Chains A and B, each alone.
Chain A
């Protein structure tokens, strides 16, 4: 079974802090994703990585950056945390695909981040 592990289940930080959220997958997946989930808005893609050191912006990248130094690890960084970044953050991974075929995305249990 694919396992996607997020480093913290709950996290409380203060405004202005630099925050790191870590995600590790154990299935040698090429693709990794960071989403935030807010009530009524579904899951929104923040950043996506299709290979080591490669990244693409998603729909809401402002205020975030990412790092992928190793294939199994994808980090989300809040450069200067703000209260509007209080949310549930979900990491996912999947195999590479193309031509309209889909590969299921496998999700971690999420990190509920509160910025005070």
Chain B
């Protein structure tokens, strides 16, 4: 089967840098996406890595290593509003823009 594992919870202080890891066990992914979900809200798209390496979008960066079946989301200059759940999601081969989501990481940003 296809599975993507993430730590269930990460805590960090405002202004710090935090890394949220995602390890997966499948060969059937084109690439890795990241979504953010605030409590009670809808998941929203953050980033996508089609190729190995680092993609940077403002304070957020995402990394993918296919050889290691591993990716991460890096959040810099943490703000209180970054407290949310973060999901990695593998884009499945076979078309249709279908995703398999990871288990999710709840990030708590403290003062």
Q: Which residues of chain A have a CB within 8 Å of any CB of chain B? A: 4, 31, 33, 35, 40-45, 48, 50, 56, 58-59, 90, 92, 94-98, 100-110
Q: Report B-chain residues with C-beta under 8 Å of the C-beta of A50.
A: 96
Tell me the bound Cα distance from A84 to B5 in angstroms: 23
User: Within the complex, which residue of A31, A56, A90, A95 is in contact with B43, where a contact is CB–CB below 8 Å?
Assistant: A90
Q: Are B30 and A100 in contact (CB under 8 A)?
A: yes
Number of interface residues of B (CB under 8 A): 27
User: Within the complex, which residue of B8, B42, B97 is in contact with A96, where a contact is CB–CB below 8 Å?
Assistant: B97
Is B72 an interface position by the 8 A CB rule? no
Q: Report A-chain residues with C-beta under 8 Å of the C-beta of B45.
A: 104-106
Question: With A4-B42, A43-B43, A100-B50 given, can you name 7 additional A-B contacts, CB distance below 8 Å?
Answer: A31-B96, A42-B102, A42-B103, A44-B101, A100-B91, A102-B97, A105-B99
